[in-house]
Amino acid sequence: MNKIRESFYSIPYVISKVSAGFPSPADDYLEKNLSIEKLLIKNQPSTFLIRAGGDSMINVGIYDGDILVVDRSLDAKSKDIVIASIFGELTVKRLIIDNLGNPELKSENSLYPNIEIKNKEDLLIWGVVTSAIHQFIKY
């Protein structure tokens, strides 16, 4: 069976930064095209997309409904945002590893408790979140 792969489009990219404060004169030309795929995906065979649900990670800019870009080829390090399976449930959290090597899954919203991992075998890291795609307008 042939695997059909959808390809991202290359989109015009303006090199100039847009002011988030006071307006500045715009450059009236495009510098080059930017491939969204090349921007967001470094290792295509090991990358997958997953939709975030809930608001436990809002303090790092991950909101309900955002699409997360996850790379399974990266080794998760302390302070990385990861997709983890804990007791068979998937979650997105910040991985914290203490000086003794004990992992904890940290929420980035003070309304949610961190998840202490008492047995390392109960935790499976699916991948490291490299980007979050947040849409302002839902189509």
Catalytic residue among 7, 10, 38, 56: 56
Phi/psi of residue 111, nearest 5 degrees? -75, -10
d(CA 97, CA 102): 5
d(CA 93, CA 80): 8
Which of these, 54, 122, 121, 120, lies nearest to 93 by C-alpha position? Answer: 54
Catalytic residue among 10, 19, 46, 93: 93
Which of these, 51, 55, 72, lies nearest to 133 by C-alpha position? Answer: 51
Q: CA distances (Å), 41 to each of 7, 27, 76, 89, 114, in order?
A: 12, 28, 17, 25, 29
Is 46 an annotated catalytic residue? no
Is 93 an annotated catalytic residue? yes
Provide the annotated active-site residues. Answer: 56, 93
